[in-house]
Structure 1
């Protein structure tokens, strides 16, 4: 078994053990393997172990990998999890299955207009700046309902849920606080009639806290692929 296969197995075991601890079904928690900066060969190694969902941050890095693996027979699902830029929405709308970092109506409208009609609607999550950090992307929680309503009116997009990247914290209790706030926003929107099923939160260092607070997807990179490869 290669290193990626071993680490992938360890992450799956972490998810299962944590879900069991908090009386959750491990099958309700999707693993998104964050493959940014890592080559197509690394993605293929994970795919041979049954991993199907991969997250990419950098468009110029992702597109060659998506193309090279298109006919590899793995039926991969690609999630864009990087910062959105208006001049890059067209290739994102064309080549990805999900966008998890949507935080403006302008970008939503561009993705809607540029999604090829022969493809299924683009799945989107709204990124929330849950820790109110000025240097990070994401919508203010107070503006979330307005954006969700607008996105729900765009037929080439399918609003699936919320995503956040909270400020780092040292203890499990501190890590849980922003995840709990995001879960509250998620349940509030659902109670208002939004058909949400995805709460994307938690990474290699804090997946236990995220699962404890209701994550349905965790985004794991380093713990699977090793340290990020510097360009």
Structure 2
């Protein structure tokens, strides 16, 4: 087996063991393989071993890989998730090429994605990014404003609000990790109480996936544990 396939299986085993540990239903947590900065060959290797959902942060890089994979391995039917910050001038290619967007944090972006989603495609799945720890350096709607934003976005055509995403302030304190993820889950419950159906909590990365799963994550975003260390040099 290859290194990527070994790593992929180890991550999946860890997720499934953590589900059991915290009495979560079996395979209730999806793995989103974060493939930013890694080439199409790495994605192909993971896909050939069963991984279908891939997360990308950088639009131009992602579009090149999506095109390559659709041309060279169309039988794989991969699912593409945009998880990076979104500028207004980038919404059209995101709306046209991705299946999910995890990083919507304002109404303007959601409206543009709605207007620019091709009618021939399935509705674009949306998660609202919440700045759960209140960090000035991070994107995301404030916890106080997320319910109102969800109500507005849920009414837009051609997009489907699925849930919430967060990247909490890093900490090695598991209790603090769980507190942040619990807060996100409770915000999701407030939105559901307004009559909006949600099914996704995109939370948890390599350093805090156990705390995230314990608090109800349905999708964890894992990159280096699968693909190895990143080289950001361009």
- TM tier, smaller: over 0.9
1:80 touches 1:100 (CA, 8 Å); kept in 2?
yes
Tell me, which stretches of 5 or more residues in structure 1 are unaligned?
A: none
Q: Greater CA deviation, 158-167 or 62-71?
A: 62-71
Distance across 2 between alignment mates of 1:110 and 1:63: 19
> Equivalent residue for 1:157?
159
Deviations 1:51-103 (A, max 9, x none): 00000000011001000111411110000000010010000000000100000
Cα contact 1:15–1:26 (8 A) shared by 2: no
Distance 1:225 1:150 in 2: 38
Within the candidate set 84, 87, 90, 1:85 is matched to 87
Structure 1 outlier segments of 4+, above 6 Å:
none
CA distance in 2, matches of 1:38, 1:62: 10
Q: How many angstroms does 1:26 deviate by? A: 3.1
Partner of 1:189: 191
Query: When the two structures are superposed, what TM-score results if normalisation uses the length of structure 2?
Result: 0.97
Which residues in structure 2 correspond to 1:111-150 (within 5 Å)?
111-150=113-152
Partner of 2:32: 32
Structure 2 unaligned regions, length at least 5: none
8 Å CA contact 2:203, 2:220 repeated in 1: yes
- Secondary structure of the structure 1 residue equivalent to 2:91: helix
Secondary structure, aligned partner of 2:217: coil
Separation in 2, partners of 1:225, 1:26: 25
Report the counterpart of residue 7 of structure 2 in structure 1: 7
Partner of 2:43: 43
What TM-score do the two structures reach when normalised by structure 1?
A: 0.98
Q: Is the 8 A contact 1:78 1:97 kept in 2?
A: yes
What is the aligned-residue RMSD (CA, Å)?
A: 0.8
- How many residues are aligned here? 231
* Structure 2: distance between partners of 1:229 and 1:10: 22
